[in-house]
Each structure stands twice: as structure tokens, then as C-alpha cells.
Amino acid sequence: MKKLIVANWKMNPDSAQAAKQLFADMGKLKASKSEIVICPPFPYLHLAKPKNYALGAQDIFWESKGAFTGEVAAPMLQSLGVQYVIIGHSERRKWVGETDEVVNRKVKAALAAGLKVILCVGEDAEVRDKGMTAAKRFVDKELREGLADLKNPSLIVAYEPIWAIGSGRADNPTDTVEMAEFIRSRVSGARVLYGGSVNSGNAKDFLQHPEIDGALVGGASLRAYEFKGIITTVE
């Protein structure tokens, strides 16, 4: 199966002009062994010209329309060609106070609408310092509550230990493999991605393992050269 390489631009770049340039750079990437998904901020979605990549959103609301100021619904995203959606990113949990219950509503709505869900899970440093058993217990709770009432959901799970995000300190791939297997034991058939300080230099350490189905890339996805290096690793 192809590796899934997802670019999460987060709240970047700072102008539509810069986003157009980045889309153009991404459009030049050649991939046959990887599927590329680009998740820009909402206002830039319509600027994408997805040919060699698919489009993803960074969030979604659980209702499909109505009086929900500031929110964005699945049909709106789909009308712009969006196929994937990231749900439950740790930055949303931290800065917007998203709970597992909110995540659960969003996952249900997105799956019902036919979007491909990338559910983010991962422990903070305090938990990981206690060891892998504690980390698995933390992730297990996020999976149980985030996927409550869903029977055999078909989705992508991104394991993103919070301490590895944007820190330059990626996980130990051996631990990532162990966590990926654990996640798959909880959500059968899930494609499991790793995210957290992935770059062109360390991508191979993760992607060479068959247990790791791909990567969710933040900072390095904003530098076309870096991102290309990650894709080249897979190819």
C-alpha cells in the first residue's frame, strides 16, 4: 500500500499569494509510491489545483449548516474538492479546548458525510516520561472517547506525541512502531501515521517500517524542498 504523506500547514502561510506559490510548488512533486494530501487553512482551499495531491481540511463542524457562526461544514468542504479532514489535533485540544466528546461529534459527522478522517492522538511529555504503558493508556482513552458509538470505523489515525510536535525532537521509531501496532489493535484496519518533527532527514527512520503507513508533517511541509525530500524518501 502507498504511504500517505499529509501536509498540515496549520495557520500558515500568511497570505493568499504565498499559499498560491506553495500550492504551485507542491503541484510539481512527483509521487507514485505515496499519496500526498495537503491541508491548508480554510481560506486557501479554493486556491488549490489538486492534481498530484488530494485536499484536506484542518477541522470541521459536526452540523451540516445553520446558525453556527465561524464554523465550517462537511458539504462546504466537499464543494471545494476536500476529501480528507484532520480532527482532534492537539493544537485544537490545547488552544480551543476541544474535548474528546467534541472530537467524537466531528468524527461521526465527517464519516457520515463520506470524508476521510485523520484522527489525531498523542500524549504529552509528562505522560511519556512515565513510559510507553502510560502513553498507550492515554492514547487508548482518546481513541475510546473520540470513537465512541462508532462500530468498526474506517479511518486514519495520526499518532502525534505532543512533545514531538514542532520541537525538533521526533519520537524514537521503535516506540512509534509499538504505538502504531497498539493503535491498530484498538482500531482494526486503521492506517496509522506518525507526526512530530518529521523532516527529510528523519522521514526514512519512520517510513521504512511497514507498521507506519505515513506521516503527518507540519513545519517541513511549508518548505517545498524539505517536503520534496520526504516524498523522495518514499519513492
Provide the annotated active-site residues: 89, 160
CB of 100 or CB of 160, closer to ligand 13P: 160
Nearest approach in angstroms of CB 83 to ligand 13P is 17
The Cα 50–Cα 41 span in angstroms is: 15
Query: 1-19: b or e for each residue (b if 16 or more CB lie within 10 Å)?
Result: eebbbbbbbbebbeeeeeb
Nearest approach in angstroms of CB 219 to ligand 13P is 3
The Cα 206–Cα 189 span in angstroms is: 19
The Cα 74–Cα 9 span in angstroms is: 19
* Omega prior to 13 cis, within 30 of 0: yes
Q: Which position has the grid cell 501536509? A: 7
CB of 179 or CB of 185, closer to ligand 13P: 179
Q: Which segments within 44-184 are labelled E, that is strand?
A: 53-57, 82-87, 116-121, 156-159
Q: Which position has the grid cell 521526533? A: 170
Nearest approach in angstroms of CB 214 to ligand 13P is 12
The residue ranges that bind ligand 13P (CB under 6 A) are 8, 89, 160, 165-166, 195-198, 216-220
CB of 35 or CB of 148, closer to ligand 13P: 35
SS3 assignment, position 159? strand
Q: Which residue of the chain is nearest ligand 13P when measured via CB?
A: 218
CB of 72 or CB of 203, closer to ligand 13P: 203
The Cα 72–Cα 36 span in angstroms is: 23
Q: Which position has the grid cell 482532534? A: 88
CB of 104 or CB of 221, closer to ligand 13P: 221
Nearest approach in angstroms of CB 178 to ligand 13P is 20
The torsion angles phi and psi of 204, rounded to 5 degrees, stand at: -60, -35
Nearest approach in angstroms of CB 64 to ligand 13P is 25
